């Protein structure tokens, strides 16, 4: 990233720290989880505005703690938060956002995102300004909160949530910081009857952390059951051999906090997933 290169070379002239009134921890966190809705919270407590001045560029950069995806080359270098959200097979996902608090910072000449250098390239990258963005009296980006279409990671259905908690107007030179955000992700789940290909059911559901998997058909060979939280992290993993139809497998998930989890079953025939609610 450009800002890393500039810091290493000692070309960062000054940095202004800006603090925001919010009680929530900085970054993305889970606020609540029900059988149909995951509520996330994004908060910024502090950021820095760095002044950059060298023989190639002069402008400003945003300094923010955390890991962020790079913006497109030539466009305002606004930090973008990307997070995968796990969903059961066939679930319809809807996104609703509430911006609780924001503030506008004037007189900002935000530098564009730089091209990434290869290992063979040396020095500072050449910076270009995208005229389609920098030449318009309009805020960038047009959409601050984007939910992708479902895809798969390790046979687990996921959607990618992208958050850009900023709006920049290059003509007016204003930077809006959205520092307190509630994000609701609503899941419309298919039931087992609507998804007859699933070889298992979960009972009881919801439960207190003790659940039974009822196998609906013979599953020969090795099968793996994994449990994922809504952020796509595997929190439980078990392997089984040669399941017979109507066999009941006990799962002890009492070590997990209450909320929604995804149970995924995989063998050499494929992978299936369903949601389970722990109270």
Q: Is the pLDDT of residue 10 over 60?
A: no
| Rounded distance between C-alpha atoms, residue 189 and residue 192, angstroms | 9
Read off the pLDDT of residues 263-274 as tens digits, 9 standing for 90 and up.
888 888 778 888
pLDDT of residue 268: 80
pLDDT band at 120 (very low <50, low <70, confident <90, very high): low
Do the first three CATH levels of 2-188 and 200-278 match, i.e. the same topology? yes
Q: Give the lowest-confidence range in 105-109, 163-167, 217-221.
A: 217-221
Q: Where are the domains of the chain?
A: 2-188, 200-278
- DSSP code string of 52-119: EESSS-EEEEEE-SS--BPPPBTSB---BEEEEEE--TT-EEEEEEEEEEEEEE-S--BPBBPPPPPT
pLDDT of residue 1: 34
Range among 54-63, 131-140, 227-236 with highest mean pLDDT value: 131-140
Q: Is the pLDDT of residue 86 over 50?
A: yes
Average pLDDT, rounded, for the chain? 84
Read off the pLDDT of residues 241-260 as tens digits, 9 standing for 90 and up.
887 777 888 889 999 988 88
pLDDT band at 122 (very low <50, low <70, confident <90, very high): low
Read off the pLDDT of residues 191-203 as tens digits, 9 standing for 90 and up.
444 455 678 888 8
pLDDT of residue 155: 76
Angle at 228 between CA 204 and CA 272, to 5 degrees: 70
Where is pLDDT greater, at 260 or 141? 141
| Rounded distance between C-alpha atoms, residue 114 and residue 64, angstroms | 17
CATH of domain 200-278: 2.60.40.3080
Contact predicate 227/200, CB 8 Å: no
pLDDT of residue 194: 41
Q: Give the lowest-confidence range in 20-34, 61-75, 195-209.
A: 195-209
Closest CA to 76 of 125, 116, 110: 110
CATH of domain 2-188: 2.60.40.3800
User: What count of other Cβ atoms lies within 10 Å of the Cβ of residue 177?
Assistant: 19
């Amino acid at each position: 990233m450009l800002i890393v290169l500039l810091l290493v070379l000692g070309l960062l002239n000054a940095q202004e720290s800006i603090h925001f009134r919010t009680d929530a921890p900085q970054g993305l966190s889970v606020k609540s989880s029900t059988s149909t809705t995951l509520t996330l919270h994004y908060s910024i407590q502090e950021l820095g505005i760095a002044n950059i001045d060298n023989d190639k560029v002069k402008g400003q950069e945003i300094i923010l703690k955390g890991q962020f995806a790079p913006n497109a080359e030539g466009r305002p270098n606004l930090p973008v938060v990307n997070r995968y959200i796990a969903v059961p097979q066939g679930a319809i996902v809807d996104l609703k956002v509430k911006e609780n608090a924001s503030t506008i910072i004037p007189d900002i000449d935000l530098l564009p995102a730089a091209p990434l250098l290869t290992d063979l390239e040396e020095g500072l990258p050449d910076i270009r300004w995208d005229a389609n963005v920098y030449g318009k009296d309009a805020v960038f980006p047009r959409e601050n909160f984007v939910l992708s279409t479902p895809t798969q990671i390790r046979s687990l259905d996921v959607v990618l949530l992208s958050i850009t908690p900023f709006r920049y107007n290059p003509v007016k030179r204003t930077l809006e910081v959205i520092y307190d955000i509630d994000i609701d992700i609503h899941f419309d789940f298919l039931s087992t009857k609507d998804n007859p290909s699933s070889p298992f059911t979960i009972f009881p559901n919801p439960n207190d952390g003790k659940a039974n998997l009822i196998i609906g058909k013979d599953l020969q060979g090795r099968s793996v059951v994994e449990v994922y939280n809504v952020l796509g992290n595997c929190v439980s993993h078990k392997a089984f051999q040669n399941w017979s139809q109507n066999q009941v497998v006990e799962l002890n998930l009492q070590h997990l906090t209450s909320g929604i989890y995804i149970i995924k079953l995989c063998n050499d025939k494929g992978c299936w997933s369903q949601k389970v609610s722990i109270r």
